[in-house]
């Protein structure tokens, strides 16, 4: 599966979960209407998540990066 397909599939799942939790909220319109507020909220959420779960996030991101590099090298070597 191509990386763009993976992101799309993951985005679809995330969109479905958000739509189930908050079905009446038009997130895209809110982000377009209030871009600075959206960035502040995203930054604050990321900072909080990093503070609370920083080591686990670094481990997960490192594992993801290692898998992706390995896959790309394997694809390159396979030709």
Question: pLDDT tens digits, residue range 5-59?
Answer: 444 455 678 778 777 777 777 878 888 999 999 999 999 988 888 888 888 888 9
Instruction: Give pLDDT, residue 34.
Output: 92
Round to whole Å and give the CA distance between 18 and 27.
Answer: 9
Instruction: Give pLDDT, residue 2.
Output: 46
pTM: predicted TM-score of the whole model, two decimal places = 0.47
| pLDDT level of residue 77 (50, 70, 90 thresholds) | very high
> From the DSSP assignment, how many helices (H) and strands (E) are in the chain?
3, 0
**Which has the higher per-residue pLDDT, 65 or 13?**
65
What are the structure tokens assigned to 7, written together?
């992101």
In 3D space, the residue among 40, 43, 38 whose CA is nearest the CA of residue 28 turns out to be 38
Helix (H) / strand (E) containing 78: helix 35-78
């Amino acid at each position: 599966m191509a990386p763009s397909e993976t992101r799309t599939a993951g985005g679809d799942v995330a969109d479905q979960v958000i739509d189930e939790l908050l079905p009446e909220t038009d997130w895209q319109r809110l982000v377009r209407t209030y871009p600075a507020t959206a960035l502040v909220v995203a930054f604050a959420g990321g900072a909080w998540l990093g503070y609370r779960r920083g080591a686990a996030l670094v481990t997960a991101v490192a594992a993801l990066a290692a898998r992706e590099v390995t896959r790309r090298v394997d694809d390159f070597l396979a030709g």
